[in-house]
Amino acid sequence: MAETLAIQAKAISKTFHISEDSHNTVKHRLFNLFNPPRMKKVEALKTMDFDVFKGECVGLLGRNGCGKSTLVRLLAGVYPTDTGTINIYGNTLLMNLGVGMSHQLTARENIYVSASVLGLKIKEIDKIFDEIVEFAELKEFVDTKIKYFSSGMVARLGFSIAVNAGADIMFLDEIFAVGDMKFQEKAVKVFESSWIQGKTVILVSHGMETIRRYCNRAAFMKNGSLVYFGDTETAIQMYVDDNHE
């Protein structure tokens, strides 16, 4: 099978400069011209290279704070890299407890805006609109601003938009933590059906069962380094061993 690239990362790294004093006004900068802010360097991601191919489902494992979310944001094009290049072939969707939604807008407006950002045309959104509302179980609240929604309702709406609109490359960061048990069952069901077919998925999860079931390759990260990228079972084993250290 000739494999087409979906994401190509070459020598990427990311360091966050966290300043202890807030020098984010002109006044502060002028008054402290000769007293530069103390910067703390946090090496979130150490240099790494890898390729992800179209149609793959890749699992991302690692303990809290190992750089999974940073990596996912870099790959989704939300954060710029410090070094190296990332080539993304397609539009991306990053999902962690929902997708980007404005609390000033109604559910209807958010559906149209989000789906449009994900690359759908208005006519296509019209077609899937009812499905989105139905799946999110928000029929009576379509024209309510989401700032009046409970957090569960917002999360359900985000999940439903993502499921029905989708994107070429999807980064799913702990998505099965959304909603109550009934909704979670629905989420798993939809995940197993046709949602991710033909799409490139990077799945971040602590649930090893989930990774084992859906991913054909997996990566294991530790302290900002990509320790292993390949066979799913090996990655899971490394993660388990790391947790028992």
What is the contact surface with other proteins in residues (CB under 8 A)?
A: 16, 24-27, 29, 73, 76-80, 88, 91-95, 99-102, 104-105, 109, 112-113, 116-122, 167
Give the nearer residue to other proteins in terms of CB position, either 49 or 124. 124
Minimum distance between the CB of residue 125 and other proteins, rounded to whole angstroms?
9
Give the nearer residue to other proteins in terms of CB position, either 76 or 128. 76
Minimum distance between the CB of residue 31 and other proteins, rounded to whole angstroms?
12
Minimum distance between the CB of residue 26 and other proteins, rounded to whole angstroms?
5
- Vertex 55, ends 242 and 234: CA angle to 5°? 20
Residue 40's Cβ-count burial label (10 Å; 0-12, 13-18, 19+) is exposed
Give the nearer residue to other proteins in terms of CB position, either 57 or 118. 118
Minimum distance between the CB of residue 191 and other proteins, rounded to whole angstroms?
18
Give the nearer residue to other proteins in terms of CB position, either 154 or 219. 154
